[in-house]
A and B are shown apart, each in its own frame.
Chain A
Amino acid sequence: MSAEGTTDYREGARRGLASESLQKNLKNLQNRYGRGALEHWASLAGADPRERVKHKRMQTLENLDVVLAALIEKIEARGGQVYCAETAEEAAAYCLELARRHGVKRVVKGKSMVSMEIGVDALLQEEGIEVVETDLGEYIVQLREEPPSHILGPCVHLNRQQIGSLFAEKLDIAYTDDPPTLTRAARKALRQKLLHADMGITGCNLACAETGEISLVSNEGNIRMATTLPRINVALMGIERIVATMEDHRDLLQLLTRAGALQKISTYVSFAGGPSPAGDPDGPAEFHLVLVDNGRSKILADPQFREILACIRCGGCLNICPVYGRIGGHAYNAFYSGPVGAVLTPLLYGINEHADLCKGESLCGACLDVCPVNNDLPRMLLALRKKLAYGDPDWQVHAHKPFEAKTFRAWRRLISSGPLYRLVLRLLAVLQGPFIAKNGMITKLPGPAGAWTKDRDLPPLARKSFRTRWQERRKAGQGRNDAEVRND
């Protein structure tokens, strides 16, 4: 990654913009889900629950230690095992150790962002364990050996022809680009994997402290399969994905499925808080909950950014963001993309390392409008930009572009200097001559200034400044009164 990720982000954005399937699919997705969610919130008017729910969400985060302790106690009492992982490495190592202990040969996964965050797949695969994603979209990107590009629709960047060719090659079926036929082919292949898996790894949408359960939503049923058929279950949970009571769960669940997929409720919402009782023909015999910190307690401690932990990963902001909608998820070079990723990725993986993300977003505010928990992402994007501009030892941020900062400081001195400023303007007005194109605009500048004219034209400086013209008119109009000058 050169120059703090700049090349990757620009290159990724360029690739996204050039991809016809990505442009078409994201446009459809945003027109339907993004707009649909905004229309839904608007239709609620005075009955919009988001502010109330957000208040409770922040209150829960403020007492995260207590709600987590309640959850752990109840799950352990039911015979479930809870492991608290400070880092991604610890969480992944726990899964590996568990798999080793039970001689696991195949792991089936339900879609989990945290599983990607901790890099558990690669670790298990190095051990010779087969790891199979079971969500259709995740399965498709896994077969293509690329990361997902959307939280809810992992293969939104692909068209049916690409998926058809992929399945023809990998699943050994005749080529077809018919979505129902492709889905049936994946159903058949994955059913065999699911029926003969030793371990199921899922995420956790919302845990509930009061009942000591985790809950998972899905439309496909893959998550139910992955938690019902294998004899070992592992649920990976970011420490913030918890509510205090079932009443909170009820409210947040509906906001989640509305904002993410315009559904009153997803097809399946499953609740579990321990292993299956004896005599139950279904799994799991062992239930493990892995609580993952991995930088979250640091975010929790910063009042500026605590709010990002209220996020429930509905993907709603991806469905409305004009930047994400053009460049796609892969440009973000991270597991979390879109506006939420532009805030979360730098906080988890380094603000300097991911400097482009917060600068690439447009601050239009659509993500805030659509967010089911009113997360003020634009505010947090600005806070990140400020850290990049001035540096921040608490977050180990060094000033992002010292040259840019120096340039602006020099510019400040120049424009407040008067005579020097006017001299420079006159000089530039002459120097710009060779750069003015036939359309009367500056279309190409040399050196670093070329970045500006690469995608747009720059209007040239006026040959005579307003100030000079004003003075000339004042002189010419001597004897007339001020009002006449003003009307001139």
Chain B
Amino acid sequence: MTEHNPFMSRIRTALGHSAVQAGGVERCSALFRTTDSVEILERIESRSQESRRELLQQFRENAALLNLNVHAAAGFSAAGEIIAGIIQNSEPEFGSDRQVIQHDHPDIAALALSTRLGDGVVLHTTGTADRDLREKTIASFVGLTAPFWGVADSATVVQITMPGQPRSTSLVPAVHIALLRLENLLADLTELYAVLRRDPPASSYVFISGPSKTADIESKLVHGAHGPREMHAVVVGLER
């Protein structure tokens, strides 16, 4: 930090603050003050199954505008059927290998995909000790992740990087499937920022709202610029 001193002191001089004020905590207490989010968090905690279903409907409508396909499943078995169907109906983009990479996550394990996919599909799981993981990810045409949060208003899923849940799974394969629990569906970005403030991610994270896209050539929308060209969100937990 000390090696940045001349740089910082030039900025301080530009602002007309003296070196004595350098710490500036009092000067800035208002700057770092944020609105109390207790009410927002309580609203999320006490949300009924009925209003969660309403959020799912909003999520679905907003996702449609972004060409993000939303599927609803009662339980993990039904979700597994849906996901196996998506994989079977997709074609590899780079090469002909039918390889799929899935996050090491209990919800994904509960899908029992290895038994649902035929012999023609190779299924990889992102174990932390696997040195060939990068090659497997590049070779896969479908990436399956279990993002923690979903946001109905912007049709967003939030993927937090963790051991066994690297970021490339939702990025490098041509098709991204996100498995999301209904109870983790939030109303809007205000709710999302409130929960992120309560549970700050320990590593990098990303908001994903639909498949990769570009409109750089004559403003014409094309999906699949660099990230996945196709995205599905499978929301599980409609029973109860």
Contacts and interface: CB of A to CB of B under 8 A. Distances in A.
Q: Do A and B bind each other?
A: yes
B217 A163 contact: yes
A190 interface: yes
A214 B45 CA distance: 29
B226 interface: yes
B216 A136 contact: yes
B14 A264 contact: no
A183 B4 contact: no
A428 interface: no
B219 A155 contact: no
B49 interface: no
A310 B172 CA distance: 35
Contacts of A220: 212-214, 225-227
Interface string B203-218: 1111111111111111
A415 B215 CA distance: 56
- Most B CB contacts (10 A, CB to CB) among A29, A219, A266, A301 go to A219
B99 to A, nearest CB: 16
B69 to A, nearest CB: 15
Given A65-B8, A250-B189, A266-B209, A191 B94 contact: yes
A280 B166 contact: yes
- Most B CB contacts (10 A, CB to CB) among A86, A250, A267, A301 go to A267
Contacts, number: 223
A180 B167 contact: no
B32 A298 contact: no
A45 B78 CA distance: 45
Nearest to B62: A264
Interface string A132-156: 0011110010000000000001110
A112 interface: no
Interface stretch (B84-92, B108-116, B192-200): B192-200
Interface stretch (A10-18, A240-248, A390-398, A473-481): A240-248
B190 interface: yes
Given A220-B227, A221-B227, A281-B137, A267 B211 contact: yes
- Most A CB contacts (10 A, CB to CB) among B25, B66, B225 go to B225
B219 A293 contact: no
B226 A254 contact: no
A246 B196 contact: yes
Interface stretch (A116-124, A268-276, A400-408, A446-454): A268-276
Contacts of A82: 4
Contacts of A279: 128-129, 163
A228 B171 contact: yes
Contacts of A69: 1, 8
A183 B224 contact: yes
B215 to A, nearest CB: 8
Contacts of B14: 297-298, 300-301
B73 interface: no
- Most A CB contacts (10 A, CB to CB) among B23, B66, B212 go to B212
A465 interface: no
Contacts of A194: 226
- Most A CB contacts (10 A, CB to CB) among B4, B11, B172, B212 go to B11
Nearest to B17: A65
Nearest to B192: A250
B57 interface: no
Nearest to A24: B218
A96 interface: no
Nearest to B37: A247
21 contacts: A64-B15, A67-B28, A69-B1, A72-B1, A72-B4, A82-B4, A136-B217, A136-B225, A153-B215, A159-B218, A180-B222, A190-B226, A220-B213, A228-B168, A250-B193, A267-B66, A269-B206, A272-B204, A281-B137, A282-B167, A291-B7
Interface of B: 1, 4, 6-8, 10-17, 22-25, 27-28, 30-32, 34-35, 62, 66, 94, 126, 128-130, 133-134, 137-138, 153-154, 156, 161, 163, 166-168, 171-172, 189-190, 193, 196-197, 200-201, 203-220, 222, 224-228
Given A69-B1, A280-B161, A281-B126, 18 more contacts: A62-B15, A86-B6, A136-B217, A183-B225, A191-B94, A219-B215, A220-B212, A220-B227, A221-B228, A246-B197, A250-B193, A265-B154, A267-B227, A268-B227, A270-B206, A271-B206, A301-B13, A301-B15
